[in-house]
Chain A
Amino acid sequence: MPINKIVSSFDDAVADMQDGATILVGGFGVVAGAPSLLLEAVARKGVKDLTMVACVAGFGKDVWSLLGFKFPEDQDILVRNGQVKKAITTAPVSAIYENNFERLLRAGKVELEMASQGSLAERIRAAKAGLGGVYTPVGIGTVLQEGKETRIIDGKEYILELPIKADFALIKADKADRWGNLVYRRTTRTYNAVMAGAAAVTVAEVNEIVDLGELDADFIHTPGIYVDRVVVRPDVVEGAEVEISEAARQSHQKFLERKGN
């Protein structure tokens, strides 16, 4: 039977996600490769107590709208829905806004494990590659060293960073074929390509599905072995017009006044 990893809907693509799952969410921020429609599907499914592993904890549509942009959803949709128990992230908060994650963190409703971008990438890659961990000098003398094993190698001190094992990887790519071979565009490859294959189930949200053989073998970024499901976006994905909440407006104003400190 021909291999076919293409699923027909975003809801089907995450239908077996359970409460308490650890999910890797690709992209840098919403502007560089967040799997927005998969995040909406997880929000519709309503699974709770998620551990979300992502570069950022999300900004939210209303603050983007306030800044004059019209973007689809980012990680914020799961945070503001109360579906996230813990985030492992490099940028939990924003420099220009008190995001929902910061608000919930202050209220003691979410946990935070801070990571540096390089160590986050390596911890995910370690899981994907079957490694027991990675030694890095990044974080020595900082809060990121706390509770971690250290070791001197060739006279230099390193921290042991452990792999992050996950149930789902939700990623975004440009093109896919039915084997799950992926190609990304420009700066959207980021964590998407790192996370592909680093979880029990990898789901790729793509702009376009092409026939098998259409992607040049020398230019496939993620070989299909790392991908379990592919789901295609509709032709146009735009951020809907959103109402800017008073909280977002006030918070942004506060940050503008504080700027330059």
Chain B
Amino acid sequence: MSYIMEDKFRLDRQTIGLRVAREFQDGDVVNLGIGMPGMASNFVPAGREVIFHAEMGVLGFGEMTAPGEGDYDLVNAGGQTVHELPGMSCFDHAEAFTMIRGGHVDVSVMGAFQVSEKGDLANYMVPERKVGVVGGAMDLAIGTKRLIISMTHTTKDGQPRILKECTYPITALNCVDLIVTDIAVIEVTENGLVLKEIAPGWTPEEVQSLTEPTLIVDPDCQEITLM
């Protein structure tokens, strides 16, 4: 079905990170997942001060260090060494998750295998593997004020990841607020999924053809902008 679209331009990982980072508001406390979501830390819009939170117990750390140059007593959720910043604080795991589960973290950015129409999230286990990594994903999905998912719109073989119902094991129900993919920005609302932005060169119909549930096209739907 998608042979015409295969050649179309899709946002790369960095550009998705750039778009996600636009969501960070001045003063937000932000928790970034491992991998693609972590890219967003490099693109905080100029003039906004954002505090990054990591689950093993640190607030206010800086960018990743060059490989091999960091202090292995100071890492992010991916175990990568990061720089210290003035104002940084360290604490234990129970405290870190009190912040998450108690609703004190403003934004969480995670990857996903699947997201449903109602905002259900599946991101901890591929069924064929029969075992996965829950980590802090369930806590973050339930506890943070706003959950942003950054992922590719379709699987490697072109199947939709945005579905009527998730078929993979559930991380949390009804938790996703915004989905940023390589071709679209979609808001999860009580009325359904609202298509807010599309990648350059795409039409809403083409995005719909790669999305299982029916999208509500926002009257102000526009091309994805990065600034």
Chain B residues near A116 (CB, 8 Å)?
134-139
Chain B residues near A136 (CB, 8 Å)?
101
Could you tell me which A residues sit within 8 Å of B by CB distance?
28-29, 31-33, 55, 68, 71, 90-95, 102, 105-106, 112, 114-119, 121-122, 124-125, 136-144, 174, 184-194, 221, 260-261
Which of A114, A121, A185, A221 is in CB contact (< 8 Å) with B93?
A121
Which of A122, A174, A187 is in CB contact (< 8 Å) with B56?
A187
Chain B residues near A261 (CB, 8 Å)?
126, 155-156
B 66-83 binary contact with A (CB < 8 Å = 1; else 0): 010001111100010100
- Residues A137 and B73 in contact, CB atoms below 8 Å apart: no
With known contacts A32-B75, A142-B171, A192-B92, A187–B57 Cβ distance under 8 A: yes
Which of B58, B81, B92, B143 is in CB contact (< 8 Å) with A194?
B92
- Residues B142 and A138 in contact, CB atoms below 8 Å apart: yes
- Residues A91 and B57 in contact, CB atoms below 8 Å apart: no
Which of A68, A71, A112, A119 is in CB contact (< 8 Å) with B131?
A112
Closest A residue, CB atoms, query B139 = A118
Closest A residue, CB atoms, query B126 = A261
Q: How many Å from the CB of B54 to the closest CB on chain A?
A: 7
B170 in the interface, Cβ–Cβ < 8 Å? Answer: yes
Q: In the complex, A201 Cα to B155 Cα: how many Å?
A: 49
Q: How many Å from the CB of B222 to the closest CB on chain A?
A: 29
With known contacts A31-B79, A33-B73, A189-B57, A139–B138 Cβ distance under 8 A: yes
- Residues B133 and A29 in contact, CB atoms below 8 Å apart: no
Q: How many Å from the CB of A194 to the closest CB on chain B?
A: 5
Q: In the complex, A157 Cα to B36 Cα: how many Å?
A: 32
- Residues B90 and A117 in contact, CB atoms below 8 Å apart: no
Q: How many Å from the CB of A227 to the closest CB on chain B?
A: 14
B45 in the interface, Cβ–Cβ < 8 Å? Answer: no
In the A-B complex, the 4 residue pairs with the closest CB atoms: A118-B97, A118-B139, A193-B92, A186-B74
Q: How many Å from the CB of A81 to the closest CB on chain B?
A: 21
